[in-house]
Structures are given as structure tokens and as C-alpha cells.
Amino acid sequence: MRLVDLITKKRDHKALTNEELTWMIEQYTAKAIPDYQMSAFLMAVYFNGMTPEERSHFTFAMLHSGDVLDLSDIPGIKVDKHSTGGVGDKISIPLAPLVACLGVPVPMISGRGLGHTGGTLDKLESIPGFNVAESETQFKQQVQQINEAIISASGEVAPADRRIYALRDVTGTVESIPLIAGSIMSKKLASGTNALVFDVKVGNGAFMKTTEDARALAKALVGISKTAGVKSVALLTDMSQPLGITIGNSLEIAESIAILKNRGPKDVHDLTVALAAQMLVLGGKAASLEIASGLAEDALRDGRALNAFKQLIT
């Protein structure tokens, strides 16, 4: 195969096969395809999209470009969350310890800033000494010990996505549903999770400006999850204004700690609890969202969530 033929095919609105997409990702991972050609392919996808089958094939090709973690020997249903990002979105930071302290393992492989959005990893690194670059063994041990870990994708996890992620950021191809879905799912499926909750942002501060586009992305994420045999739920949430009252890495850590102390802005608190409730139901810890919300509120009030965050920092 030649990548120029695949670029031409996608340029002309034709669907690529599983074999073609797998070959392309393998060759790009091996650095046999230059960035300028992959940039042309990404732009063709940006304008012409992908079929549902292509999206799944593209995701699985990136997933299998590296290691896929096996967390099956950790008891319980592992549940992760992903947000499509927005200004002031620090929800992962209070959410992971809140869910972990209620008995649901949270293996979270997170990302850095993309476009105008802040990254969870960048925020955590504003804590002096916090290490997001744990090995796969350390990641697994931490989930076993304290039910939670938030790390960057290692060199062995979805290496194709790491390179394509950086390329999208500088080629104007960030706001593409197939590319967003493939990037998210290749990392999330590699983490060994059993279930996923998606926080799909919609509004003028999000990559998806309209409810129609956000719903299309949510359906793409849930569709890939279903193909992979992973249970999932997607929520569409407002990003027509910043979340909370702070923007900036260390400021957002401070605001996250306020949430864990059962203080802080109401919008951040309410979204944290809403997402926690979905994760607790998927994790089998509550029979309904109402019961799960009550459990989450209790854990914020009595300090268990804050203590779990201290364990994460340690």
C-alpha cells in the first residue's frame, strides 16, 4: 500500500478498509510515514469524516499500536470518565477520588491541553512532585492499593495516538468527530477499564458548538464502546461559559480541593456529583442515580473523598 492512495481515497469520500487503516497506523507508528502525509490524511478526515465502521477500525488500530493493560485481577468493575474538554473543566480531579472512596476502581489515563482546553495532567503537575508518568506496573499497583490512578499514556500505550494527538493540535484538525472519538477511545480502552462515562461538552467554549454535533460525538463514543464490549453512558453538558470560577492549572487544583471539602462553585459540585452517580451505577455500587448521588454527597460531607485525594497525591 501507499499512503498517497489512502489520502486520495479519503479525499474522494470513499471509506477505508480495516486493512488499510491498520497498515497506515502501523507504518506511522514505525515512523515509515512522514508527518506531512499524515497531516494531509487528517485534513481529509476533517472535511469528509468517517463511517461508523471506519471509526471503530481506526480506534482499534491505534489501540493495538501499543500495550493494552489487563486489570482483570483487580476486583470490581473498573470505571473511567472522559471529558471532551473546556475552559475551567477540572472535574476529573475531584471526581476520581470521590468515586474511588466509594469502592469503584478508577483507572484514568488522561491527556494534556488540546487547543484552548486545559489538560488534567498539566493541572496535576502544578502540585510539586506529582508524577503523571508512572509505569504500567505502577499504575496497576496504585489502582489495586487505593482504587484510583491518574496518569499520562506511557510510551507503550497507544503510541500512534500520542503522535497524531500532537499533530492535530498544530494542523487545525482538532474539531473532528472521528479523530476526537478515536483518540479518546484508543487511550481509554487501553487502560483496561470495564465501563466509561463520557462528559461531552457543548457550547461556544467547546469543540462541539451545537447540540447536534455534541450528540453525534456522544453517539460515536458510545458506538465504539459497544463494539469493544465496554458499557458506557454519555452526558451532554454546558460549556457556553467556563466551569467554576478559576482558570489556570494551580488555581483549578485549589478549586478542586474546595469541592472535595464540600465547598466551591455549585456548577463544579453538581457536575462532579452527577458524573460520580453515573460511575457508581455502572460500577454496581448503587441501584439508581438518586441513591448514587446521595452516596457521593455523603462522601464529600464526611471527608472520605478528600482523604482519597490525599492518597492520590501521596
Q: What are the catalytic residues?
A: 82, 161, 168, 183, 187
Unique residue bearing C-alpha cell 473523598: 305
Terminal-residue alpha carbon distance, the chain: 49
Distance CA 188, CA 251 (A): 27
Which residues, in sequence order, are CB contacts of 40 under 8 Å at separation 6+?
Answer: 7
Q: Is 263 exposed, middle or buried (CB count within 10 Å of its CB: 0-12, 13-18, 19+)?
A: exposed
